[in-house]
């Protein structure tokens, strides 16, 4: 994908195809759609490969996929830099396959195929370099390079006509950088002006079809083998087609003459071509698995859109969620299909209202399957530390400063993130099992009532996180209730219950009366107990929590969520963090 050379200022120029900021933003949104369109075909080929029997082919296809994700992020940075808003969570991103590249050559169709000769020919057609002297094409483009050449022309033209400052008016905080995406040897360029925009375009182009001058190399080192120089996407697929690697001195004309690459076609799962949900009856095992995959993939699109629209830290969460796709797709490809092939993912869009957790801008917490808690709506995040006596008796909670967050942020649920309390995608690497077992029955159906004088204590043992405010130095609440005729004792009981973070204990003035709750703000607090023990996430003020299956937990004034990853009552905390001595190592505390 080679960019066109700019015309010298004195030379006559033809009218730019992209000659308004609105048109530029439209074409950069098309670039996002274009980069995304390559992902499902590459993923199908990758997932169909047995990595033990085809390690080299899997490494090649995997490296191209990772770099297409980089290109997607670069396109989003470009659009944000010129004041646009990247969109990914929409039906148009997932039309039925076969499909064409967005706004591209109608003769090129993309299909969902297992790895093989036909898939390789499709990939070579996608990544085909623009021929020398090929014109820039903003729509109906024959090669991706010609499309990006049109964007470059438009950028130069608009900067010359309007001024660079007027063109690059976007919010710098919406840029994603290398700290957010570390899975590639390529450069994730932060775009803040024409020079950086051209550098971003060059990165996309060179990784696709090589460096200027007919080079097969893209200027980077291989992501999986840093000791090797990396060839561009088109030539990587040529290596798989011919069974040889490129080596120094090789050219596009000579082809690869280096060491051999072996491909074992018997080690490829024979996935059905362009599978669809409609191929199988509702409720069947294959269709159910395909629907689960589609929910996960649409969660990725949703997280990417959030990451590119003001919450860049979610990029790590989105890429981590992709690990779940791999397991789901490979499970599908082990299911025999009716035509003698195996089943495969369909990449069909799931409407947000069917996902529930991703709908609306209200404050809420969504539990991702085997992943983190995603907190929407700018819910304040702070730390709270338990104050204890010299004998380690629980006394009260001390509130720390509010932590800096994005409008939407993700909190670690597996207990292994390197940037606690925030998620960094580690859950996917370690194969975290976040299966939820907590029930959805309301508190009123589960509570056990213990009456005293002027106070009626209610308790749900399943919610207890063993913070120990109910125990006291000498007597637990259950024994103190008999003496609540003494107003000092009654006040002590009420105060201890107010400090119970999970709301396992609550109280009313009389049996069946309205529960009296402490006035707690809508917030999430990172709890720390005695001796630096890391405790639960304390959700207060009635912030709704939605399980990964879309079912809501009962909205209460106090809820405690597990963040050590070991609770037997996920997503709720059950105090296991105390048993395992869970701690949070945060250098900046």
pLDDT tens digits, one per residue of 191-208:
999 999 999 999 998 888
346 CB contacts (<8 Å, ≥6 apart)? 112, 275, 276, 277, 290, 293, 294
Q: What pTM was computed for the model?
A: 0.86
pLDDT at 573 over 60: yes
- Res 397 pLDDT > 90: yes
- 125-134 long-range CB contacts below 8 Å, 24 or more apart? 126/38, 126/41, 126/101, 127/208, 127/209, 127/232, 127/233, 127/234, 127/237, 128/209, 128/234, 129/1, 129/2, 129/208, 129/209, 129/210, 129/234, 129/252, 130/1, 130/2, 130/209
pLDDT of 7 strictly over 70: no
Among 39-43, 205-209, 351-355, 495-499, the minimum mean pLDDT is found in 205-209
Span 163-172, average pLDDT: 96
CB 210 within 8 A of CB 234: yes
pLDDT for res 13: 39
Q: What is the pLDDT of residue 217?
A: 73
Q: What is the pLDDT of residue 11?
A: 38
Nearest CA to 381 out of 502, 201, 521 is that of 521
Q: Residue 3 above 70 pLDDT?
A: no
pLDDT at 420 over 90: yes
Here the tokens at position 418 are 């390197």
Residue 103 CA, distance from chain mean position: 27
Tens-place pLDDT, residues 15-31:
447 999 999 999 999 99
Tokens of 201: 């375009």
Average model confidence (pLDDT) across the chain? 90
6 band by pLDDT with thresholds 50, 70 and 90: very low
Task: Report the range of poorest mean pLDDT among 124-133, 138-147, 188-197, 578-587.
Answer: 578-587
pLDDT score, position 244? 94
| Beta pairing partners, 104 | 141
Res. 501 pLDDT band, cuts 50 70 90: very high
What pLDDT score was predicted for residue 183? 55
Give the helix/strand (H/E) hosting 100: strand 99-100
pLDDT at 586: 47
Nearest to 394 by CA among 472, 465, 506: 472
As beta bridge partners, residue 572 has 561
Phi, psi of 21 (to 5 degrees): -60, -35
Say whether pLDDT at 549 is over 90: no
Query: Long-range contacts of range 551-558, CB-CB < 8 Å, 24 or more positions apart?
Result: 551/440, 552/440, 553/438, 553/440, 554/440, 554/441, 554/442, 554/443, 556/443, 556/503, 557/503, 557/517, 557/518, 557/520, 558/500, 558/501, 558/502, 558/503, 558/517, 558/520
Q: How confident is the model at residue 518 (pLDDT cuts 50, 70, 90)?
A: very high
How deeply is 253 buried, as exposed, middle or buried, from its count of CB atoms within 10 A (0-12, 13-18, 19+)? exposed
Q: Is the pLDDT of residue 429 over 90?
A: no
Across 338-469, the runs of DSSP E, i.e. the strands, are 364-367, 373-376, 381-388, 394-403, 409-411, 448-451, 456-459
Number of helical (H) and strand (E) elements in the chain, helices listed first: 16, 16
Rounded Cα gap, residues 218 and 516, in angstroms: 66
- How would residue 228 be classed by pLDDT, with cut points 50, 70 and 90? low
Does residue 102 surpass a pLDDT of 50? yes
**Residue 216: what pLDDT?**
84
How many residues are recorded in the chain? 589
Q: Is pLDDT at 182 greater than 60 in this prediction?
A: no
Please say if the pLDDT value at position 423 is more than 60.
Answer: yes
Rounded to an integer, what distance in angstroms lies between the CA atom of residue 89 and that of residue 353? 12
The predicted-structure confidence for 73-93, as pLDDT tens digits, reads as follows 999 999 999 999 999 999 999
């Amino acid at each position: 994908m080679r960019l066109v050379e700019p015309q010298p200022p004195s030379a006559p120029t033809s009218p730019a195809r992209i000659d308004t900021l609105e048109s530029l933003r439209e074409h950069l949104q098309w670039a996002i759609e274009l980069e995304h369109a390559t992902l499902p075909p590459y993923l199908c080929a990758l997932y169909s490969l047995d990595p033990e029997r085809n390690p080299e082919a899997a490494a090649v296809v995997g490296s191209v996929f990772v770099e297409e994700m980089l290109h997607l992020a670069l396109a989003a940075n470009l659009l944000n830099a010129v004041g646009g808003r990247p969109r990914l969570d929409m039906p148009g991103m997932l039309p039925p396959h076969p499909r064409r590249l967005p706004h591209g050559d109608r003769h090129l169709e993309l299909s969902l195929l297992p790895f093989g000769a036909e898939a390789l020919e499709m990939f070579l057609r996608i990544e085909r370099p623009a021929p020398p002297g090929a014109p820039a094409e903003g729509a109906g483009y024959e090669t991706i390079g010609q499309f990006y050449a049109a964007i470059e022309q438009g950028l130069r033209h608009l900067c010359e006509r309007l001024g660079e400052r007027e063109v690059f008016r976007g919010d710098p905080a919406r840029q994603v950088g290398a700290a957010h995406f570390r899975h590639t040897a390529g450069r994730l360029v932060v775009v803040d002006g024409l020079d950086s925009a051209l550098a971003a375009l060059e990165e996309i182009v060179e990784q696709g079809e090589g460096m200027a001058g007919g080079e097969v190399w893209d200027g980077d080192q291989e992501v999986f083998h840093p000791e090797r120089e990396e060839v561009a996407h088109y030539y990587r697929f040529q290596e798989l087609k011919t069974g040889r690697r490129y080596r120094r001195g090789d050219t596009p004309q000579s082809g690869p003459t280096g060491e051999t690459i072996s491909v074992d076609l018997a080690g490829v799962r024979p996935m059905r071509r362009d599978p669809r949900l409609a191929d199988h009856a509702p409720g069947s095992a294959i269709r159910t698995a395909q629907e689960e995959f589609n929910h996960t993939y649409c969660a990725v699109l949703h997280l990417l859109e959030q990451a590119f629209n003001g919450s860049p830290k979610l990029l790590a969460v989105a890429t981590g969620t992709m690990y779940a796709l791999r397991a789901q797709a490979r499970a599908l490809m082990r299911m025999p299909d009716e035509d003698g092939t195996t089943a495969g993912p369909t990449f069909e869009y799931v409407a947000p209202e069917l996902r529930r957790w991703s709908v609306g801008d209200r404050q809420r917490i969504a539990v991702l399957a085997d992943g983190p808690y995603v907190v929407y709506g700018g819910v304040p995040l702070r730390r709270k530390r338990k104050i204890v006596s010299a004998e380690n008796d629980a006394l009260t909670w001390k509130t720390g400063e509010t932590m800096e967050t994005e409008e939407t942020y993700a909190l670690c649920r597996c207990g292994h993130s390197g940037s606690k309390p925030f998620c960094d995608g580690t859950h996917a690497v370690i194969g975290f099992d976040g299966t939820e077992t907590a029930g959805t029955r309301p508190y009123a159906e589960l509570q056990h009532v213990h009456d005293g004088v002027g106070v009626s204590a209610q308790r749900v043992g399943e919610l207890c996180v063993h913070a120990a405010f109910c125990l006291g130095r000498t007597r637990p609440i259950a024994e103190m209730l008999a003496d609540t005729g003494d107003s000092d004792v009654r006040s002590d009981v009420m105060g201890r219950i107010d400090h119970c973070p999970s709301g396992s204990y609550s109280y009313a003035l009389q049996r069946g009366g309205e529960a009296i709750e402490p006035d707690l703000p809508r917030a999430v607090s990172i709890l720390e107990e005695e001796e630096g023990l890391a405790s639960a996430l304390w959700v207060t003020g009635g912030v709704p929590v939605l399980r990964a299956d879309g079912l809501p937990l009962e909205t209460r004034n106090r809820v405690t969520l597990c963040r050590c990853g070991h609770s037997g009552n996920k997503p709720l905390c059950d105090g296991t963090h105390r048993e395992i001595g869970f701690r949070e190592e945060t250098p900046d505390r």
